[in-house]
Amino acid sequence: MTVDNQPSPAVELPYPDGDFYGFQDLLSESEQAKLLEVRAWLDEHVRPTAVENWVEASFPRDLVPKIADLDLISPVRRCGYSNVFAGLIHVEFTRADASFATFMGVHDGLFTGSLEVLASEEQKKEWLPDVYAFKKIGAFGLTEPLGGSDVAGGLRTTARREGDTWILNGAKRWIGNATWSDWVVIFAKDESDGQVKAFLVDTTLPGYKAEKIENKISLRTVQNADITLTDVRVPESHRLQNCSSFKDVNKVLKVTRLGVAWQAVGLQQAAFDVARRYAVERQQFGRPLASFQMVQDQLVQMLGNLTASTAMMVRLSELEDKGLAKDEQSALAKAYTTARMRETVALGRSLLGGNGIVADYEMAKIFSDAESIYSYEGTYEINTLVTGRAITGVSAIV
């Protein structure tokens, strides 16, 4: 099933990109040109089959080699773009397909970010060229079957050193890309000192097993896996040398949490796109749905949520560019934007009526995908408590 959800050329809408306050104008000319290039690439390669892939729970692996041509991986550290630009790229990917955006967030943000932040210079020189070129696809193994928000102090996966080899045992869950990735960064508790260590694990090693998680209602295109590690032997040379505690892991998560908050903006953009066009093109009682006051109210609420979320993320990204962004600011952004996202996609689903629960019209997919973004990279509740601790000086986290 291939559904054509591209805009009709017969209808030209004002503010065609939904950027009501012109946030894209903050970018440099070269960044604006690159943003338009990426948008066109996504419209050509990702959007046309996104619904089909979602329904079939299959990932378009044929697109992976083509992504390298965009030369976008690690846009800030490697390419020198601003964090505002990187955020708006997150928006474009999520707007086209939240699952494809999540693939990029795992490979680029979590996996590549782990190597850039936690690996030694020698390790970076050896590993990153293939990662940047998409010759090696990565995954990020932190969450466990019995540990989500509490993994900071409760990792059950263990690492035991024997000479120049580490032996890993344990399990990971919800690991995106892991059914087909070449590498995965595994975080484990060192049995000798109780601290978290990180390892680059080749997925062909004996004792490594990844099984696809089936029957998801959200981000169905993403290939999430249950990983089991049974006496997996990893050389010391594959231990990420700059990870010696969970505080080091947080250096990665702080930036990727910002990226997920941008995804919440992108999904709101996707919902607004679909709802606005539907309202303009759909006829009810002999006139466009958009001519009814309550429909316009719903669209304006959606736009207000989208614009407020974008404004928050632009400012946070500016702070990140200056090296001033704090963990609690990323936490607040992730909590706030995902809460507004939930409201926005619910309004969009309502506006489409019965068609809003059918994947063919895109909104059902958008509505469902929002649930994953709401939960991963720190739940709403945990990010709220992180922010609350920062503004009161009192921790409410057990």
Exposed / middle / buried, residue 27 (Cβ in 10 Å: 0-12, 13-18, 19+): middle
- Two structure tokens written together for 338: 């995902």
Burial of 146 from C-beta contacts in 10 A (0-12 / 13-18 / 19+)? exposed
Q: What is the pLDDT of residues 359-389, one digit of tens each?
A: 999 999 999 999 999 998 889 999 999 999 9
Domain final position from 245, 274, 298: 245
Pairwise CA distance, residues 397 & 193, whole Å: 24
- Give whole-number Cα distances, 57 to 53, 150, 214, 230, in Å: 6, 29, 9, 28
Task: Count CB-CB contacts under 10 A for residue 207.
Answer: 14
DSSP string, 17-36: T--TT-GGGGS-HHHHHHHH
- Given a cut of 50, the residues of the chain with pLDDT beneath it are 1-9
Domains in the chain, number? 3
pLDDT score for 10:
55
Give bridge partners of residue 274 from the DSSP assignment: none
Pair 228, 257 in one domain: no
β-bridge partners, 161: 166
What domain range includes position 327? 247-392
pLDDT, residue 1, reads: 44
Please state whether beta strands 183-190 and 138-141 pair in parallel, antiparallel, or not at all (unpaired). Answer: parallel
- Sign for the CA dihedral angle at 99, 101, 107, 109 comes to negative
pLDDT value of residue 2: 45
CATH number at residue 29: 1.10.540.10
What's the N-to-C CA distance of the chain in angstroms? 48
- Tell me whether residue 196 is in a domain: yes
Burial class of residue 327, CB neighbours in 10 A (0-12, 13-18, 19+)? middle
- Residue 141 pairs in a beta bridge with 186
Task: Note whether 108 and 35 are same-domain residues.
Answer: yes
pLDDT at 254: 83
* Judgement on whether residues 70 and 167 belong to the same structural domain of the protein: no
What is the rounded CA–CA span in Å between residue 375 and residue 382? 10
Residues 198 and 233 grouped into a single domain:
yes
pLDDT of 253 reads 86
DSSP conformational letter for 213: P
With beta carbons less than 8 A apart as the criterion, state whether 373 and 260 touch: yes
CB 114 within 8 A of CB 185: yes
How does pLDDT run across 87-128, given as a tens digit for each residue?
Answer: 999 999 999 999 999 999 999 999 999 999 999 999 999 999
pTM for the full predicted model: 0.92
